[in-house]
């Protein structure tokens, strides 16, 4: 019987549909002894030791380096519970005939909801108002509106479109930048597609929803932050590697950017000495945008279904990253 390890912390040791799918598909399910394994802080050798008996893995944030992949000859499928795969060496996985899948349909609404929640938190002073109300200060300062303002969406994929739907319903004007836009969606939701430089100069709020890759690494740097409208605000629920954190901190300290809502960071977990922790214009969350009660189940089901389908010889086209393996791959 093939073995699959379920790694994401939110999916450990729980009766859930994805467990049923794997068991009914003929898999023995195991879990890492250390529930924090999925956070990606294990050494290569320790990662190899944890996964050495696995034929497949429902993966979270573990690092699949070339040396890890080369040392796991039994591993056939890495099924990411999520859409990011920047911690997997895709060329090495492809060379070693290991299929990498993602869950493109599992959590885009959850991420969009979290982005909107951060937008509310920083515009409506939610955290500060809670604190002052609790301590009896009772400071009734004015907050910023969302209706009638412009939201700039960097990346109009599934998550970006989900954000656009919600923001448009609140009366925000929408501008976006996207290499491969769904023009029917763009026209239906009255979105203006413009270059990123124009987007930054026009937007009252900027929210980032593009993948982490060589082209986007550090794209939000001192130059792009300088192009943002003075007093605008910045939301990132995508990946920390998209942002040069020190440049963002400088823009926040100068007041050029009035606030930020961040779910992702250059280094995770965030160090206690990170200057972001000292800024009252920032609202932070611990990379949880894609994981709510429903999306965790949906991602698990999608990942488990990919594993079972591949085991049965069925190719999940929409979910496979290294599609070039299709014609010659078998379990």
Query: Which residues are tagged catalytic?
Result: 239, 268, 287
Residue 235 CA: distances (Å) to CA of 3, 47, 51: 39, 33, 35
Cα–Cα dist 291/6, whole Å: 15
From 236, 242, 225, 245, select the one nearest 287 (Cα to Cα).
236
From 92, 84, 31, select the one nearest 61 (Cα to Cα).
84
Q: Position of tokens 């909801």? A: 113
Q: Whats the size of the chain, residue-wise? A: 331
């Amino acid at each position: 019987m093939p073995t699959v390890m379920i790694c994401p912390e939110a999916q450990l040791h729980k009766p859930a549909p994805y467990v049923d799918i794997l068991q009914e598909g003929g898999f023995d399910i195991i879990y890492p002894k250390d529930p924090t394994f999925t956070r990606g802080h294990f050494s290569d050798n320790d990662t190899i030791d944890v996964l050495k008996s696995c034929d497949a893995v429902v993966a979270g944030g573990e690092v699949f380096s070339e040396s890890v992949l080369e040392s796991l000859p039994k591993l056939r499928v890495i099924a990411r519970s999520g859409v990011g795969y920047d911690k997997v060496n895709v060329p090495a996985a492809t060379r070693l005939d290991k299929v990498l899948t993602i869950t493109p349909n599992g959590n885009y609404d959850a991420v969009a909801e979290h982005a909107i929640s951060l937008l509310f938190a920083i515009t409506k002073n939610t955290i500060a108002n809670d604190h002052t109300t609790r301590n009896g200060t009772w400071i009734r300062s004015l907050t910023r509106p969302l209706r009638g303002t412009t939201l700039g969406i960097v990346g109009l994929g599934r998550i970006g479109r989900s954000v656009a739907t919600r923001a448009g319903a609140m009366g925000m004007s929408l501008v976006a930048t996207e290499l491969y836009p769904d023009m029917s969606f763009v026209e239906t939701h009255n979105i203006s597609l413009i270059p990123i430089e124009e987007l930054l100069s026009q937007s009252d709020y900027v929210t980032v929803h593009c993948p982490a890759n060589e082209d986007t690494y550090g794209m939000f740097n001192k130059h792009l932050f300088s192009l943002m409208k003075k007093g605008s605000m910045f939301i990132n629920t995508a990946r920390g590697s998209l942002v040069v954190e020190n440049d963002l901190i400088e823009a926040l300290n100068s007041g050029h950017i009035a606030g930020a809502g961040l779910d992702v960071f250059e280094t995770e977990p965030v160090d206690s000495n990170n200057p972001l922790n000292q800024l009252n214009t920032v609202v932070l969350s611990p990379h949880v945008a894609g994981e709510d009660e429903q999306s965790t189940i949906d991602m698990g089901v999608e990942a488990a279904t990919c594993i079972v389908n591949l085991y049965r010889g069925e190719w999940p086209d929409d979910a496979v990253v290294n599609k070039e393996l299709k014609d010659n791959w078998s379990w």
